[in-house]
């Protein structure tokens, strides 16, 4: 199907996003267990329809893992990973913030999302 051109925003010179973000807070667990075998194909369908931008956070249960699996499926299907965007957030418990604490949290998110950079 695809969305009209004005459905997208050139956020920065190298980042074009869909103006309507797909939220993943629903997979946090508060709404029941999500079947990954059904969720990932649905995410692929959203992407094919032009909804390419995702909003998630480390505390949204398996949201970052879903993005990792989604990215893997895009790759399997030969779809350029540059066509999707995922914005995660880190919501730490109050504690002393050291560089090591922050780097460890970033590393966890990178592993879960199957990406080298955030």
pLDDT band at 47 (very low <50, low <70, confident <90, very high): very high
Residue 38 scores a pLDDT above 70: yes
Write down the pTM of the prediction. Answer: 0.92
Q: Which residue's structure tokens are 């109050």?
A: 94
Domain boundaries, the chain: 5-113
The CATH classification number of 5-113 equals: 3.20.20.100
Residue 30 scores a pLDDT above 90: no
Q: At what angle do helices 99-113 and 63-76 cross, to 10 degrees?
A: 50
Instruction: Name the token pair of 3.
Output: 């969305």
The strand ranges marked E within 51-118 are: 53-55, 85-87
What is residue 2's predicted lDDT score, i.e. its pLDDT? 81
Q: Of 86, 90, 74, whose CA–CA distance to 113 is shortest? A: 86
């Amino acid at each position: 199907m695809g969305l009209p051109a004005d459905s997208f925003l050139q956020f920065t010179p190298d980042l074009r996003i869909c103006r309507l973000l797909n939220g993943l807070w629903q997979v946090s667990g508060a709404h029941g267990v999500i079947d990954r075998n059904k969720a990932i194909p649905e995410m692929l369908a959203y992407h094919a329809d032009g909804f390419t931008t995702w909003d998630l956070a480390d505390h949204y249960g398996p949201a970052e893992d879903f993005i990792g699996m989604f990215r893997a499926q895009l790759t399997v299907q030969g779809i350029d990973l540059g066509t999707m965007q995922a914005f995660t957030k880190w919501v730490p418990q109050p504690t002393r913030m050291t560089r090591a604490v922050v780097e460890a949290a970033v590393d966890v998110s990178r592993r879960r999302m199957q990406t080298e950079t955030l």
